[in-house]
Structure 1
Amino acid sequence: MSGRFHIDVAAEPTEIGLVRRAVALFLRVSGWPDAAAEQVVFAVGEAVSNSVEHAFRGFAVGRVGVDLELDAAGLLVTVNDDGRWREPGHSGLRHNGLPLIRAMVDDLVVESDAAGTRAVMRIARG
């Protein structure tokens, strides 16, 4: 089974739920197993939340894009924004987004440059 999905939203907290629902629908229609889909939706939602909360602090609101590519091997997820990278902090229950995402996916690579930040996640088909 294969397929592609893309959504681009304003980096606003109100858009996070929309992204989660759209990703969940794509995975359901694509036949991705329910338990694995929940983990993907969580990881994507967390990555989008990180962009919304951190990438645009002190700047005008930008955009967050999510791309999913599904093939026989698994799922490739890319979450990108056009904001500014902030080094993650660790204070209490906050700022644990990247470790949470890493726990949900097989591989996570985060890249940042002047154009924005990109998180690439790989999830093997189970």
Structure 2
Amino acid sequence: MRSVSDPDPDDDPPPVLHLRRRARLEDASALRKALVHWARAHRLSAALITDLELAVYEALVNSAEHAYPGDTEGSLDLHAHHEDQVVRVTVTDHGRWRPQPPPDPLRGRGVPLIHLLADHTDIAATEQGTTVTMTWQLSRHCAD
């Protein structure tokens, strides 16, 4: 029996996933689950899906925590695109990142982890928000 989270092998998944949710940790989790479902539908390798899930979740959580100071409400956009031999995922917030507190030895590993997991990462901060773009070359990742 197939679970709700398992893709139907007869379905042709859309090449693009685009979702917007509120910038809250529970919404970041919902976006992560939607990305994993989309990646499974594209039959990406389990190892690649794990890398996608962790890197993208780090970007989502960073945006939810840092882009909207205090009780400011905002949104997170998740955009994933699968084309030929490339998967590209962007996480965009529309807020302003607050100044970073003094270093905490238990925190601050999200961005280095994103760089480690993705084949290429670009972080672009503007007055209108921050976009984290993560790219994976499928030729570097074996299929299951």
> Given the alignment of the two structures, is residue 114 of structure 1 paired with residue 127 of structure 2, yes or no?
yes
Corresponding residue for residue 3 of structure 1: 15
User: Whose strand fraction is larger, Structure 1's or Structure 2's?
Assistant: 1
Q: Percent identity?
A: 28
In the TM superposition, what whole-angstrom CA distance separates every residue of 1:94-126 from its partner, at most 9, and x where no partner exists? 121100111100111101111100001111102
C-alpha RMSD of the superposition: 1.7
Q: Which of 96, 111, 117 matches 1:98? A: 111
CA 1:86/1:28 → structure 2, altered by over 3 Å: closer, same or farther?
Answer: same
Q: Which of 65, 68, 82 matches 1:70? A: 82
- The 5-angstrom pairing of residues 22-33 of structure 1 reads 22-33=34-45
> Given the alignment of the two structures, is residue 52 of structure 1 paired with residue 64 of structure 2, yes or no?
yes
CA distance in 2, matches of 1:18, 1:57: 22
CA distance in 1, matches of 2:131, 2:63: 10
- Give the SS at the match of 1:48: helix
CA 1:87/1:72 → structure 2, altered by over 3 Å: closer, same or farther?
Answer: farther
CA distance in 2, matches of 1:87, 1:31: 40
- Give the SS at the match of 1:123: strand
Question: For the Cα contact (< 8 Å) 1:2–1:72, is it kept in 2?
Answer: no
Deviation at 1:60, TM superposition (A): 1.2
Q: Which has the larger radius of gyration?
A: 2
Aligned length: 126
- Give the SS at the match of 1:111: strand
Gaps of 5+ in 2: 1-12
CA distance in 1, matches of 2:52, 2:135: 10
> Given the alignment of the two structures, is residue 43 of structure 1 paired with residue 50 of structure 2, yes or no?
no
> Given the alignment of the two structures, is residue 16 of structure 1 paired with residue 28 of structure 2, yes or no?
yes
Gaps of 5+ in 1: none
CA distance in 2, matches of 1:67, 1:73: 17
CA 1:86/1:123 → structure 2, altered by over 3 Å: closer, same or farther?
Answer: farther
- Give the SS at the match of 2:132: strand
